[in-house]
Structure 1
Amino acid sequence: MTKTKEQGGLGFRDIECFNDALLAKLSWRILESPSCLLARVLRGKYFHDQDFLQVQTPASCSHGWRGILIGRNLIKQHLGWAVGNGEKIMAWTDDWLSMSEKARPMGPIPESESNLRVADLISPETKDWNKQSTERSFPLLTGNILSIKTSKWGGEDKRVWLKHRTGTYSTKTGYYSVIEAKQVRENLDTPTSQEWLNEVWKLQTAPKLKLFLWKIKHRALPVGDRLEARHVLPGSNCIHCDNAETILHLFFQCPYAKEVWESVPLSGGFAPMPLNNFEEEWNRLLRATALPPTGLAKCPLAPWILWSIWSARNQKLFQKRSFSAQETLTKALVDAKEWMEAQEINLPRPHKQLNPQSRTGFEVIVRSDAAWKRELQAAGLAWSFYGTQRERISSHNRSTAFVISSLVAEGLAIRAAMEHAIALQMKCVVFESDSLQLVKAIADRSSFSDLHGIISDIYLLFNFFDSVSLRFCRRDAVNFEDSTAKQALADFDLNRVLPASV
């Protein structure tokens, strides 16, 4: 089997597995866009009277079609459903109970429920789960089912790729799934890329810094010892202290770097440990919390400091410009804040023009926020209406149970705010949230598997407004909503532990 060397990850790239992952990309396109030209041509020739996921490989067929079915089989291994209105999902035979692995109800199927759909478990009045129906059919799964947020406004069910949080197939995740399956068959240890996803690619920071960190972790940064090892520049020492320049020395052990880290406003402070390697120091930084008033609660400060130290080294080496440790730290803080402030996203109405006669000149701003408690699996939701002078018109909050993540809680808060605005017949509204991840998902229409029902509703609710936008706002803009949401969550917790008579 032909293999090529790959930098990082699994060490070697298996060409056969990679080819299967690429073929699965075509199969995913057929599954996601059945009306595209490719899907229509193949359906007319190979599966005009069958479901693409169920069609069998014929004894004789074209090489191309056989390859597409190989990719289809790969997708089927990790394919599930995200619940919208529940009309397309068979409750007993489809995988819909988890967004991370294939999961369906187990046990013998009662004859009376052989054709039970997920929609039959949803109340037609509230469009939420009918608790009596779920307890009757799936008594051991009721809590799990109630944590799945359905669409209340008619959003359809959606097939999702369970190996990625967004539910969308990618060649990268497909390749890793093939490799993992192969290593299980061969009884080998399965290396995982999860630490890469969490420590580099999922960081809330600039793309250039993610690439910078990737180079550091692969020892691909052109510091002195790497240049000497590759016979590029022998005898290249640290520009600050003239010791041997390694990645660990430059960023943590050099007196200049230590002086920078001593000034960083992190909870408990940060002092590099002399015996730690880069990975250990990096993991310590990921766990550290930036202190006020840096304003970087959702953006890790460490990547910007590493980048600033690297920039100061290059400035001194190539342009003979020296910066103090305090100046280097200040540059990191300023750059991080500028990047955070530049992430504000506006979501205009692309296909619906505002009727000039319906504009009253009064545009309402609605700010929403949520507080979530993992132990309770509950959330407090809050939203407020603001007038043209940014005066608060009214504020509302409520609590809700069976919430599996803070991101789901933020989505529920936005949906509740939109429903309230529609009930008040507001037509020109700007919605603001401090959840950049959620706002980006809505703007890019990328969604998340566990947010499918909520985001489907948000798209549908846009149609009730003449002018509507959704944008990111800084944390300090929703301080009032944050405290109101926390109060709603505290009241929920109190009502949960106190007797009804108290």
Structure 2
Amino acid sequence: MGFRNLRAFNEALLAKQGWRLITQPNSLVTQILKAKYYPKGDFLTATHKQNMSYTWRSILQASWVIKKGSYWTIGSGQDINIWEDNWIQQKGNSTGTSSKPNNCGFTKVKELMDNNYNEWNASIINQVFNPYEAHMILQIPILDKTQPDTLTWDGTRDGTYSVKSGYHAIIDWANNSNSNNATSSNCSMEIWKVLWKLNVPPKHSHLIWRSLRNAIPVKGSLFKRGIRCDPLCPRCLDHVETIQHVFMDCEWTKKVWFASPLTLNLNLNYLTEFYDWITYMINNIDKECMEKIVAIIYEIWNARNQLVFQEKDLPPQEISAIAFRRLHEYQTYGEKQIPFQNPVAKGCSNNTRWSPPLRDILKANVDAHLSSDGHWFSGMVLRRSDGSIVGAATRSHKGSSEILMGEALGLNDALDWLEKIDEHQVILEMDSQTIVKAIKEKAIVRKNWGRVVRRCIVFLGENPNADIRWVPRSANRAAHEMAKWAEHEPNSEWSNCVPTCIWPFIQKDKGFVTPV
């Protein structure tokens, strides 16, 4: 291990000690160090003092790792400083808020919330913040103001700091800093390193690699190489089809980017080459957002091929929804580094299709759907042991960039709905194995979706006959279609019936019910 790597490991290890001081406030070590070094504050606000011990000085010097890679998950909002803490971006290593306006008396995030509901006070936020920040804040869900605010590490799935994730974060930050001063060849190497580390299907990364090397068969390139073909773009028929035109300059493509949840307006883009644009994005946005961009690029090319070879013209509003759905499916079921474990094999004779619950028990299937305009929609179907319908419901939420958050919102809606109709003898089923596994293991998740995990754990503890199970998409089809239908009828409920378009899936599931 080189000197830089050894230093990064030591800083990551010391940062772990600082993390424990934050997350274990009642431990004896924390109480002793707090009483001696920061009696009136917390670890992140502690400053250097004279006569510090070597151990404390080392831990304090490594606090920058936690500050840089963490953000606040919002609960009550009373512990988060609006102007000093990282909370708007809900990502580590992000920029802070704009400076505090003159004559502004707001200090804590709690003051920006509605006093009576789990909602933001939109009028105050729009007055205090610039339009971009106001939009970002209003997208953050407030799930339960009775819960404390939680410092969340961005480098792990559950939001808890680990030495391994801290080490990799330090190395990545150093590489990104060095790349700003590197030559163009070194920059290219960094691009490939980032590209191959993205959690996207290999064919997506391969398409980007080929595009950056001008190795995809756009008509302009084919024409230059002597192949007899019409070099014009098959959509606009107004410009030569180049890589730049396909992915950035075509009016259809611009509508795709603007209609996506990323709302990228390429009319304002000053980068005139696709290579420069990808390089800029890789160096200036987080990994999750870059994965979405790569997914959209792939679907743009896929839609172009469908137009050329199948004469199928897809509307630009649908491209991002298709891209994110396929990305979600790959990240949920195709991650080789996360071994698949079915947390809910009990009580399910065939989990590849819908199975009825036991008599006197209801089954609630729930799923979430991300629309092309950035909203999450959830669909819920409640059925009896004979497959008959108790009810169905849909809900909508403002966009969240995190897929797990969207799935958690759907589960939270299901719990709200079940409490509203006073049904507690229920088996919940959903196709997000990460969320179900966290609930089954009673995991401590510091990210925002962890609040739904905690709520569901409490719900199951208070209702011994209730349960939650993971099922594949094929066994959750009715809820999946309800979530898609929610775009047409959001925030609606049905008693003893479902929308007509969902009925065929209900009837198919009833075919699997064995008569008693």
Is the TM value for this pair above 0.5? yes
Q: Which residue of 2 aligns with 1:38?
A: 29
Q: Which residue of 1 aligns with 2:61?
A: 70
Deviation at 1:489, TM superposition (A): 1.7
1:175 matches 2:172:
no
Q: Which residue of 2 aligns with 1:89?
A: 80
Q: Which residue of 1 aligns with 2:254?
A: none
Amino acid aligned to 1:59: Q
Q: Which residue of 1 aligns with 2:278?
A: none
Contact map agreement 1:99 1:450 (CA 8 A) in 2? no
Question: Does the residue aligned with 1:414 lie in a helix, a strand or coil?
Answer: helix
Q: Which residue of 2 aligns with 1:52?
A: 43
> CA distance change for structure 1 residues 453 and 298 in 2, over 3 Å: closer, same or farther?
closer
Amino acid aligned to 2:378: L
Any residues of structure 2 matched to 1:263-412 within 5 Å, and which?
A: 299-300=333-334, 343-345=342-344, 362-373=360-371, 375-412=372-409
Any residues of structure 2 matched to 1:450-465 within 5 Å, and which?
A: 450-462=448-460, 465=463
Query: How many residue pairs get matched?
Result: 348
> CA distance change for structure 1 residues 405 and 71 in 2, over 3 Å: closer, same or farther?
closer
1:120 matches 2:119:
no
1:440 matches 2:437:
yes
Any residues of structure 2 matched to 1:99-178 within 5 Å, and which?
A: 99-100=90-91, 101-115=93-107, 117-140=108-131, 141-152=133-144, 154-178=146-170
1:24 counterpart (6, 15, 33): 15
Contact map agreement 1:121 1:134 (CA 8 A) in 2? yes
Question: Does the residue aligned with 1:35 lie in a helix, a strand or coil?
Answer: coil
Contact map agreement 2:343 2:436 (CA 8 A) in 1? no
Amino acid aligned to 2:71: G
Deviation at 1:439, TM superposition (A): 1.8
Deviation at 1:427, TM superposition (A): 3.0
**Inter-partner Cα distance in structure 2 for 1:68 and 1:347:** 46
Deviation at 1:195, TM superposition (A): 5.0
> CA distance change for structure 1 residues 297 and 476 in 2, over 3 Å: closer, same or farther?
farther
**4+ runs deviating over 6 angstroms:** none
**Inter-partner Cα distance in structure 2 for 1:86 and 1:455:** 20
- Cα-to-partner distance string for 1:4-50 (whole Å, 9 max, x where unaligned): 4xxxxxxx862122111111111111111111232123224433344
1:427 matches 2:424:
yes
* Structure 1 vs Structure 2 CA RMSD: 3.8
**Inter-partner Cα distance in structure 2 for 1:158 and 1:296:** 29
Question: Does the residue aligned with 2:97 lie in a helix, a strand or coil?
Answer: coil
> CA distance change for structure 1 residues 455 and 106 in 2, over 3 Å: closer, same or farther?
farther
- Cα-to-partner distance string for 1:349-406 (whole Å, 9 max, x where unaligned): xxxxxxxxxxx97322211011112x30112211111223443321112333333344
> CA distance change for structure 1 residues 346 and 178 in 2, over 3 Å: closer, same or farther?
same
- TM-score, with length taken from structure 2: 0.59
Deviation at 1:75, TM superposition (A): 1.6
Amino acid aligned to 1:19: N
- Cα-to-partner distance string for 1:117-159 (whole Å, 9 max, x where unaligned): 2222222322112222222222512321121111236222101
**Inter-partner Cα distance in structure 1 for 2:346 and 2:451:** 19
**Inter-partner Cα distance in structure 1 for 2:342 and 2:475:** 15
Contact map agreement 2:75 2:145 (CA 8 A) in 1? no
Contact map agreement 1:399 1:488 (CA 8 A) in 2? yes
Bigger radius of gyration, 1 or 2?
1
1:474 matches 2:472:
yes
Unaligned residue ranges in structure 2 (runs of 5+): 203-301, 303-322, 348-357, 491-516
Contact map agreement 1:386 1:392 (CA 8 A) in 2? yes
> CA distance change for structure 1 residues 196 and 438 in 2, over 3 Å: closer, same or farther?
farther
**Inter-partner Cα distance in structure 2 for 1:467 and 1:110:** 56
Deviation at 1:113, TM superposition (A): 2.2
**Inter-partner Cα distance in structure 2 for 1:298 and 1:448:** 20
1:415 matches 2:412:
yes
> CA distance change for structure 1 residues 103 and 157 in 2, over 3 Å: closer, same or farther?
farther
